[in-house]
Amino acid sequence: MSRPSLKIMRQAAVWLVRLDDEPSAAEHRDFAEWLALAPEHRNAIERLQGSLAPLRELPLAPTRAALATLSHRSSGKRALKALALGALVLLPGALALQQFAPAYLLADIRTGTGQWHAQKLADGTWLRLDARSAVDLDFNAHSRTLRLISGEILLDVAKDANRPFRVITDQGSVRALGTRFVVERLDGATRLAMIESSTEVKNAAQQRTVHAGEQVRFDQAGIYPQGSVDGAEIEQAWARHQLIIKDQPLSQVLDQLDRYHSGYLMFDRTELASLQVTAVLPADDSPRALRLLARSLPIKITTYTPWMTRISLEPEQVLK
C-alpha cells in the first residue's frame, strides 16, 4: 500500500488527539465515516499509532517534564499525544524529528532506543534489527526488496531462485539468493559484513562480490574492503548485545552507541578524529560503555542532565 499524503497524515493526527479525550458518540460516527472514505485514511491512523511508541521512549526532557504541570482538565496522556503528533507531522525540524526522522517513524518495521527485535518475514527470511533500526519491505511475485532506513540488521535470507533478495540503502544495494550477513547504515556510507555464502554489492560506480568472512564499506563513489570478520563472533555479539569494535574512529563508535543511549550524545567529530578504538562494549549498558572508553582513551565524559551527555578530549590533549 502506498504511503498516505501529508494532508491525510495531518487529518489522522487531529483525529487521534480528538478520540483520546472522551469523544462523543457523534465524534465516533464522524471518525468511522472518515475511515470509510478511503483505505489511505486507515493506513494513516495505523502508521501514526505505531509511530508514537518510540517517542514515548524519549527521556524526561524539559518538554515532557512540563507536561506534568498541565491542568488536570487536560490529561497528560492527551497532551503528550498532541505534542508527539505535532512533532511528527506539523513541526519538521523539532527535537523529536531530529532523533526520529519521518522515514524512521513511518517504517514498516523498526526498533526504539536500546531495543532488539527478531521477525520471520513472509518469505521465510529471518530479520533481526539492532537498536533504533528501521526497514521498509517491498515483496512481490518477482522480487524481494528491503530498504534499510537506519541502524543495523542481521539477515538469514530464505532461498528463492525466482525472487532475488536485495537490501537497498542510499549508497547502493546488496543482492543475495540465500545467505547470512549484516548491513549497517553509517554516516554517509553502508557497511556489509558477510557471515555465510556471498553477496553482490552494487553502487553507481562499481560492482563487487563479497564472500563469507569479508567486510566492505560502500558509498556512492566506491566499494572499499574493510578486512576480515569472524562470523561466529558476529553471531555471538548479536546474541549478547555487544559491540565488537576493531580499529574504528571514536566518532563512528559513538554513532553506534547513540542507538542504545537514552538521551543525546554530543561530540565534535573533528576534535575526536585522531582517536581509534578497539574494544568489546556492552550495547545494553551505554553509560558503562562510555566509562570503558574513558578508561582507555584521553576523553572526558560530562553528564549535564539525565538526557544530555558530552564526550570531549581531555583539556591537556586539546592543547597539544
Residue 52: what pLDDT?
52
pLDDT, one tens digit per residue, over 44-61 is 777 666 555 444 444 444
Residue 31: what pLDDT?
87
pLDDT at 217 over 50: yes
Q: Does domain 109-231 fall into CATH 2.60.120.1440? A: yes
Any idea where the domains of the chain sit in the sequence? 6-103, 109-231, 241-319
pLDDT, one tens digit per residue, over 284-304 is 999 999 999 999 999 999 887
pLDDT, one tens digit per residue, over 80-138 is 455 555 544 443 444 444 456 678 888 999 998 889 999 999 999 999 999 999 999 99
Q: What are phi and psi of 85, to 5 degrees?
A: -65, -35
Q: Which of 200, 196, 219 is nearest to 210 (CA)?
A: 200
The pTM score is 0.67
Rg over CA atoms, the chain: 22
Average pLDDT over residues 12-17: 72
- Which is more confident, 214 or 105? 214
* pLDDT, the chain, mean: 81
Q: Which fold has domain 241-319?
A: Phage tail protein beta-alpha-beta fold (3.55.50)
Residue that is written with C-alpha cell 549535564 in the block: 304
